[in-house]
Each structure stands twice: as structure tokens, then as C-alpha cells.
Amino acid sequence: MNQIFVEAQNLICSDGEVWLWKSESLDGVRHFATKEDAQKYIDLHHQFSRENGSEEEAYSIGTEDDFMAAAKKYESDKKANEVKEYCKHADALIERRQLEIKALDGLVQVCRQFDGKVLNKRFHDAVKEATGFYNSFSQYSFELESYSRNCYVEYRPSVMISTDWSHGKKTLYPALQWQWNTGERLEAEKAVAVIEFYKNDRLAAIENLKATKKSYAAYLRLARKAEAIMKKMEGYDYTIREFAKKNALSQYSHHSYFWQGY
């Protein structure tokens, strides 16, 4: 064993009242007879890190009460950071929806300009200019996608409007589908009504995302309890789990996948 570690280990006093722990993780709790011994232990570990070109870790020294207070603060900060990270994620999704709404508003203006006109390359060029989105007709949809490639796909704005090239003859929801293909004359107000449906869907999604920021912490607490229960359930014999799944538990609940054998 490295001589530095031997010297550091000899400073530890298992029943000492001075506590030492890693500041960032609260790991590596050690006990010492005096603060001087605890500080010497830190100095030796930092010396070893320097000699090996590794990063020095931060340590804290205190009493048992100090450690318990630090642990409580650590858990509180951890929970706050988890919520902060989710809010950051939700805000990115909200921004995506807002950009999609802006693009849909631009599409509405283009549709009004092309009312009664035959759709061709000029239409797609106008949409591209007004929205900043690539756009095209496919077999099943009118697709608009942001130029930007500098973000995760999950946050990249895009709109996919369902199409019906039968002009309402083969669909139950003609008012919710784009019906004007290349070479056909656009009916602007009908098209705007379809676009408004997709815009309202995104407005509702934004409000829902805002609400989730307030409920994430509660969900995470519940999910962790469920995770702990499921971990205990994994310890039971497969025969028990399968029999209970088929004979004692709901067969129609959308939670039934939890009872699958492992």
C-alpha cells in the first residue's frame, strides 16, 4: 500500500468525535480524535492527488450534528436541483411549442395569400419564407420542420399536419386534415380552420407543461416509492408472480405490465 495512504489510515480513530466527509457527495465518512488529525488526513490525500496528477477532492470537518445538517441540506439541494433540471426540460419543450405556433401563424398568412390559387413550388417557397421551416407534402401528412440542427431532436420544432387527399370522402374528420395537394386550388378558410386545430393543440400543451413543473417533485417522490416496492417484488419467485398476475391482479389495468415476469 502507498506510504501516504498508510500514514493517512493511521490517523483514523473509529470512536473519535471529529467527523470528516467528502463535501460534494457526503461519501467517505471517517472519524478522528482531533481536528488536526482530520486536517492531516486531508493534506495527505491532496498530496497523493497532486503526485498522481488527479483532481483534489474537497472535504468537510465537523461534529456528528454538523454532518447530519450537511446531509439534510444535501438532500434538500438535490431535490431542488432535480426540479430545476425538469423545469429546464419543460421550458425547452414550451419554447419548441411556441416556435411551432409562430410557424403555424405564418402558414395561416400564406394560405390567405394563396386563397383560390393552385398550389405549386411558389406556395412552398412562400411557406418557407414566412415560417423558416422546410415544408413538403407526403402521402399522409403536410410536414414542416425547423432549419435548426443545433438542438436535440426532442426540442427541435416541427409540425406534422395529417392529410386527406380524398377531400373528405374517406375520412371521419375532414375538418382536421389538410386536403389540398400540389396542383389543386387552395380553400384558405378551410385550411386555416385545420391549422387552428394544430395551433390550439400546442397552446393546450404549453399550459399542461407549465402545470407539470409544479407537480414534478410530488411525482418523483411517488415514483421512488414505487421503484422501491418493485425492487422488493423482484425478490419473489417467478411462479408466485405469474400466478398472482393471472389470478389475483387486474387483467385490464394499464399498470398490468408491472406484473410481468422478469
Predicted confidence (pLDDT) per residue in 24-47, tens digit: 889 999 999 999 999 999 999 999
Residue type at 211?
A
- pLDDT per residue as tens digits for the range 194-234: 999 999 999 999 999 999 999 999 999 999 999 999 888 88
**What pLDDT shows up at residue 36?**
96
CB atoms within 10 A of CB 222: 10
Query: CB–CB of 111/103 below 8 Å?
Result: no
Supply the pLDDT for residue 254.
Answer: 60
- Span 123-146, average pLDDT: 96
Q: What are the C-alpha distances in Å from 69 to residues 42, 62, 80, 217?
A: 21, 10, 16, 22
Let me know how long the chain is: 262
Average pLDDT, the chain: 91
Q: Tell me, what's the pLDDT at 113? A: 98
Per-residue model confidence (pLDDT) at position 262: 45
Statement: the pTM of the whole predicted model exceeds 0.85: no
Cα torsion through 189, 192, 194, 196, rounded to 10: -140
Give the per-residue pLDDT at 105. 98
- Nearest CA to 121 out of 191, 183, 166 is that of 183
CA dihedral 72, 74, 79, 81 (to 10 degrees): 150
